[in-house]
Amino acid sequence: MLNRVQDNVGKALPARSDITSGFLVENASLSGTINHGLGRQALGAIVVKQSDTANPVIVTGLSATNITVSGTATGTASFWVF
């Protein structure tokens, strides 16, 4: 079943899709600047999980080594960086 899902995703996306060429940063402390580990300039980032669900985490900046986050959330969050 999983192989079928992967095949369908592969057919639906172009040969190179920036969003699928990413890195999952898990349980990062919300300190403002987070090293994303991509080894290249980040094109975007998506919050995929956060411990403080009452207050949103917002990605406000991208660089070659970091993502910058803001908001009133505390605790940790996970990000898909691409």
| pLDDT tens digits, 14-47 | 566 678 889 999 999 987 899 999 989 999 999 9
Give the CA angle between residues 55, 58, 64 to the nearest 5°. 150
**How many whole angstroms separate alpha carbon 78 and alpha carbon 29?**
9
The pLDDT value recorded for residue 61 is 94
Mind listing the pLDDT tens digit for each residue in 69-79?
988 888 999 99
CB 58 within 8 A of CB 9: no
**How many whole angstroms separate alpha carbon 70 and alpha carbon 24?**
19
CB 79 within 8 A of CB 36: yes
Give me 59's structure tokens: 């990605």
The pLDDT value recorded for residue 3 is 63
pTM comes to: 0.74
